[in-house]
Structure 1
Amino acid sequence: MTLERCKLRRSIPILNDLDGYLYQDIKRVFVFGRDSDCVIFITRNDNVYSYGRNNCGCLGIGEGDELIVEPRKIQRLCGRKIVEFSAGRNHILARSKNGKIFACGSNEFGQLGIYGSESINIPIQIGALQNEHIIGIACGAFHSLALTKRGLLFGWGFNFWGQLGLGDNHNRFMPTLLQQLQRENIVEIACGQHHSVALSRSGHLFTWGHNAYGQLGIGERLNYRNIPTKVIDGDNFIIKQVTCGQNHVLAVSVDGQLLGFGSNYYGQLGTGSRRNEFAPVPLCSVIHH
């Protein structure tokens, strides 16, 4: 076993449940859940396995048991060259190399992108996007986003806080185009619990959804915003990468500056205080010399 794999097992205890032979065959691992209690991994021969917490059948193995204690194949995804997973509270999206999306788990709010509120325990392809080549996916707690090769952004699912960016607060059971961002040429997306972030090719950040902790970075103490809004002071820095925590955002600029905004109750912004930040604050340089 390589040093890197030993470190991986120590940092993610649930991986200790894997037998040695199967562990050595892993090509890529995805760990989800607040307690890192949901695991999906892909092997070198393109088989896909999952185990752990299985709320609403989100592990995609066709079983309804709440806890799967050993790896099971996700038969529907084996051999499909899956390259990305994203997980919400009780649902999971998978993206294949050829740009197709599969979904399973809870559909209570439409987060699977299909009609009906029944949970699904076997991944299904989202038919409404079958003519699009998807290059990115992101899940909030109960909503989903998909980014196309053309730079278009679709959203669906829970929308109480306007996290779909459609100008209203109605849930969507089918992928719906965010028309306001059509001309922005979006290249990267991310979701927090109830907010969403999009990065344009020009390096600008757009945010929408819940804002009680300042996680939209717009400098205003609004409870939410249901349309994409450019992050305050966005013209003063060009962003190349962005990611979300539950209620905060971190972004890296092209000159290597790390910026953050949103909830800071646990010190997750690294500012030296626990004060929430409603606008981006410089944190440190991440340039590697």
Structure 2
Amino acid sequence: MASTESTSSLVLAWGSGEDGQLGMGNWEEMDWASPIKSLEKYNVTAVVAGSRNSLAICEDGRLFTWGWNQRGTLGHPPTTKTESKPGLVKALSDVKIVQAAIGGWHCLAVDDQGRAYAWGGNEYGQCGEEPERKEDGTKALRRDIAIPQRCAPKLSVRQVAAGGTHSVVLTQDGHVWTWGQPWPPGDITQISTPVLVQGLERVQVIAVGAFHNLALLEDGILWAWGNNEYGQLGTGDTQPRSQPIPVQGLSGLLLVDIAAGGWHSTTLTADGEVYAWGRGEHGRLGFGDDKSSKMVPQKVQLLAGEDIIQVSCGGTHSVALTRDGRLYSYGRGDHGRLGYGRKVTTGHPMEVPLKLPPPKNSNSSNGNWCAKFVACGGRHTLAIATWVDEPKPTSSI
């Protein structure tokens, strides 16, 4: 008999809370997965963890943000440097947000009509706003944009992704556009208007790290471009690429999803297998004790047979989600970001315990919390979990 799933769900958080990014109403760190109580009354369908802030998207399209706010990254006028409880982004309350992203210190979102929005830091043009003309006739970018505003108004957007100081969007027609500072500051002049990424068509999904980019095409080929100092492009070398180039070592695999951390990358196959490459320090790739960087994708054997359906990559750690709702985390362990109850750094994926009381509306105390979505940030992790009742035994009479 199949298990029955209740309608009760929780947004969970653990790791560093020094900027309020856990949403617990304080600035303490958590070593275990704990519910964000103020979000329990909302049906949250997606979460995003940034380097120092967080956001949640509700089924009805409302957007909540919390954490670090010194650059306007929460989407409302900064009243304090940090906010430790989720707050509604009122400027977007009249549209239905369906997906969002957090970069170094700016955010992007897209609504159900394909309209994109940006807010936060803008000194590199990452919010897509045109420079303002000053009194002396020169033009300058606004440093911070505290209230979300339209960006890329000529594009019909399907997905947004944010890097350290640049932005990338996937349009409804399968093309990729980018703007901002795509390389470490000082390497190239910033661009505040969207530019088409040449050579990419029929793109299915995009993922962006600090300064590198991934694009999975509908034909299953994975392309990458940007910085490559740790092999995060998967090209077999450490040469940066200003134009997309195919990722090596994945031929014959049916790829279904991708994820990018600060300096590492992962892809997921239809068979639930994970491949990882890029920076290996702290064990964030999941290859056990091997902390060396990988220039080309390699199968994460320690997750073999787990039927992974999602991987999220943070700054220095990763979390994999199984089809039956279990979470495995690995990488840097300080601040409790791995959720084990111990601040242990490890390259061995270990299960994150979700030992929480059953919901009040559950018909049974027998059951468990099953994760449905996970998001890794700089030093914290977020997840969405749903309670699943164990089936009642049936009579053999």
For normalisation by structure 2, the TM-score amounts to 0.63
Q: Deviations over 1:8-39 (max 9, x none)?
A: 5464772334995x4332221625245xx423
Partner of 1:185: 254
Match of 1:73 among 150, 173, 188: 150
Mapping of residues 1-289 of structure 1, within 5 Å = 4=42, 8-9=63-64, 11=66, 14-17=74-77, 22-28=91-97, 30-33=100-103, 37-43=105-111, 46-63=114-131, 64-74=141-151, 77-78=152-153, 80-108=155-183, 117-129=188-200, 132-284=201-353, 286-287=369-370, 288-289=387-388
Stretch deviating more after TM superposition (184-193 or 41-50): 41-50
**What SS does structure 1 have at the residue aligned with 2:275?**
strand
Larger radius of gyration: 2
TM-score (norm 1): 0.85
Is the 2:121–2:144 contact (alpha carbons within 8 Å) kept by the matching residues of 1?
Answer: yes
Contact 1:107 1:118 in 2 (8 A): no
Query: Residues of 2 paired with 1:123 and 1:79: CA distance?
Result: 9
Distance 1:211 1:264 in 2: 14
* 3-state SS in 1 of match to 2:167: strand
Compute the RMSD of aligned alpha carbons.
Answer: 2.6
Give the drift of 1:166. 0.9
Answer yes or no: is the 8 Å Cα contact 2:259–2:267 preserved in 1.
yes
Task: For 2:306 and 2:126, locate their aligned partners in 1 and report how far apart those are by CA, in whole Å.
Answer: 39
- Cα distance, 1:144 vs structure 2: 0.6
Amino acid at match of 1:73: R
* In structure 2, distance between residues paired with 1:150 and 1:81: 22
Contact preservation (8 Å) 1:26, 1:41: no
1:55 Cα offset (Å): 3.2
State the alpha-carbon separation in 2 of the partners of residues 79 and 280 from structure 1: 43
**Larger RCO, structures 1/2 (Cα 8 Å, 6+ apart):** 2
For 1:91-111, what per-residue CA distance to the aligned partner results, in whole angstroms no more than 9, with x for missing partners?
A: 11101122111101113369x
Within 1, Cα distance between the matches of 2:274 and 2:211?
Answer: 22
**Identity level (%):** 28
Change (3 A) 1:225 1:10: closer
For the 8 Å contact 2:76–2:146, the answer to whether it is kept is: no
Counterparts of 1:282 and 1:72, CA distance in 2? 40
Render the CA deviation track for 1:122-166: whole Å, top value 9, x for unaligned: 11111221xx21111111111111111111100111111011111
In structure 2, C-alpha distance between the alignment counterparts of 1:147 and 1:262, rounded to whole Å: 25
Note the residue ranges of structure 2 that are not aligned, 5 or more in a row: 1-40, 43-57, 78-87, 132-140, 355-368, 371-386, 389-397
More helix by share: 1
Q: Separation in 2 of the partners of 1:168 and 1:240? A: 29
Letter in 1 for 2:102: F
The one-letter code sitting in structure 1 at the alignment partner of 2:124 is: C
Deviates more, 1:213-222 or 1:198-207: 213-222
Q: Please report how far the alpha carbon of residue 83 of structure 1 lies from its aligned counterpart in structure 2 after TM superposition.
A: 2.0
CA–CA distance in structure 1, aligned partners of residues 216 and 352 of structure 2: 28
Shift of 1:79: 5.5
CA distance in 2, matches of 1:185, 1:57: 36
- Report if the CA contact (8 A) 1:213-1:278 is conserved: yes
Q: Distance in 2 between matches of 1:200 and 1:182?
A: 11
Alpha-carbon distance in 2 for matches of 1:148, 1:202: 18
Match of 2:6 in 1: none
